[in-house]
Amino acid sequence: MSEHVVDVSWSRGEHEFTYQTYSRDHDWRFDGGVTVPASANPKYLGTPAPVDPEEAFVAALSSCHMLTFLSIAAKKRIVVDTYDDHAVGVMTPNERGKLAITKVTLHPKITFAGPEPDREVLAKIHHLAHEECFIANSVTTEIEVDF
């Protein structure tokens, strides 16, 4: 078992506290000392520049898949030079009628040091990466890998 701790801080500041006016801006502090400015999605009156929880959710799935993919590739002695993903999360009502990120599609673009593994090998590695990804195993969101 392992624990993962994040401190989330918000303060009203000078803003009036009504639904339309309170600030959605807040900070996420991680144990390594990194502070990430966060806010609600602009559709929900947040500030555009900071990370919003929905983006962070999609990023966590993408990052976990990538790290698991890299681990499997390294164990198979397949040398990866670069891995870039354009991950897209779709928020729609779930089966209970509640808004949820119901689908995330990963679009990894990977370059290799040697010959690129064939599509079947890549499909197997992506499948195993999905099966072993801690974050994917923690959610009910449909996750698709389009490579």
Mind listing the domains of the chain with CATH numbers?
Answer: 6-44 (no CATH), 53-145 (3.30.300.20)
pLDDT tens, residue by residue, 38-95: 999 999 999 999 999 999 999 999 999 999 999 999 999 999 999 999 999 999 999 9
At CA 104, angle to CA 101 and CA 110, rounded to 5?
155
Using one digit for the tens of pLDDT, what is the confidence trace for 104-119? 999 999 999 999 999 9
pLDDT tens-digit series, residues 122-138: 999 999 999 999 999 99
**Spatial separation of the C-alpha atoms in residues 145 and 87, rounded to whole Å:** 9
CB 56 within 8 A of CB 50: no
Contact 25, 35 (CB under 8 A): no
Helix (H, G, I), strand (E, B) or coil at 121: helix
